[in-house]
Amino acid sequence: MTGVDIAPPEWSGRDDGPGPEHLRWHGAVSPYDGGAAPGACVLVGFRSDEGVRRNKGRPGAARGPATLRHALASTALARPVRLFDAGDVAVTGSDLEGAQQRLGAAVAGLLDAGHFVTVLGGGHEVAFGSYLGIARSAAVAAGARVGVLNLDAHFDLRDDAAPSSGTPFRQMAENEAAQGRSLNYAVLGIAQPGNTAALFSRAEALGVRYLLDEECGPSNLPAVESFVEEFLGSVDLVHLSVDLDVLPAAVAPGVSAPAAFGVGLEVVSRVCELVTVSGKLALFEVAELSPVLDIDNRTARTAARLIHQVVTGRTQPEPAT
C-alpha cells in the first residue's frame, strides 16, 4: 500500500470460542490489501518519537502503535464490524518530514477508497501527516469543508523552525493559507499553565476556538456539548485528534507531559460520541501514548477504550451471511 513502510502484524488475543458471540478485535481485523469494499475502518500506525524529541519531551511514543494494537486485541465486540490493518509508517533516523508525507499518501488513498481511517500514534507530530492525507483527498478537492477538533492540553502552534510534536497545527494553518483557505481548528482541554501568552495570542490570531481544561468538567458538559455542536455545524468532514495528555495524569500517566488537571474520561468520551454520531467523522487519531512511561497499562487501556468506542460507532457492520 502506498506510503506504508511496515506490513501489519499478526493479531492475537484471548479466544473464548467460535461464533460472533465470542468475537474480539483480533478475530475481526484482517490485513488491508486494497480490496476492501468502502465503509470499513482501516488502521494505520505511525511510529515516531522524532517530533517529541525535537520538542524536548520524553521519548517512547514510537512504541505506541504496537501497544495500542495489543490493548485492542482482546477487546470484545458487540457485533461484527469490518476492520483492517494497513501496517505502519515509521520515521527512519530523523526524517520526520518524509514519514509525514508517506502517512499523508496512505491516508489520502484510504479516504479516497471510501474508508474510515484510524491512525495510531506516535507523537502528536502524527497530526500533520494525517492532515496532509485529508487535505489531499478527493473530497476536499471537490469542495468539502474540513475541520480539525483536537482534545489536548496544548495548542501545538509553536513557531519553532523545525517541525515537532509542538508545531502540527501551526503547520496546518500555514498549509491552508497557501491553498487560500483558513484552518478551521478547535481545541478542548487547553491547560493555561502549559501554554505561554504567545501561544494564546497565536491562537487568537488564527481564529482558534478553545475551551480550557477547567471549563470542561462534568458540571459544564452542556457548554462542552454546545461547543462541539457549533464546530460540527461549520464543517462537512472532521479530523478528530486525541492527544492522551488531555486526560488527568491518574488516568493517562503514560504520556510525555502528564496533565496536572486534565479533562475527565467521561467528558472526552462524550465529545468523541458527538463527533462520531454526527456522520462527519472521516479520520480519527490517538497520539502521545508512551508505553515505557505507563503504569499498569492504564493509558493504553484508556486509549483502546476510546478507539473501540469511535470505531464501533462509526464503522459499518459486516453484512449478514
Number of other CB atoms surrounding residue 52 within 10 Å: 27
* Residue reference for cell 482482546: 74
Report CA Rg, the chain: 18
At position 270, the amino acid (one-letter code) is R
Residue 300 DSSP class: H
* Residue reference for cell 479530523: 239
CA dist 277 and 197 (Å) reads 35
Q: Is 236 annotated as a binding residue?
A: no
Residue 1: its H or E element: none
225-228 — which CB contacts under 8 Å span 24+ positions?
225/270, 225/274, 227/186, 227/188, 228/149, 228/188, 228/271, 228/274, 228/275
Cross-strand pairs, 241: 150, 285
Q: Helices 265-277 and 298-314 meet at what angle, rounded to 10? A: 20
Cross-strand pairs, 85: 31, 43
Q: Is 154 annotated as a binding residue?
A: yes
Cell of 252: 493517562
CA dist 123 and 290 (Å) reads 8
Q: Is 124 annotated as a binding residue?
A: yes
Q: Is 243 annotated as a binding residue?
A: yes
Q: Which residues of 177-196 are buried (b: 16+ CB within 10 A; e: fewer)?
A: eeeeeebbbbbbbbbeebbe
Longest dimension (CA), the chain: 58
Q: Residue 269: CB partners within 8 Å, gap ≥ 6?
A: 305, 306, 309
Residue numbering of the annotated binding site: 124, 152, 154, 156, 243, 245
Binding-site residue numbers for Mn(2+) are 124, 152, 154, 156, 243, 245
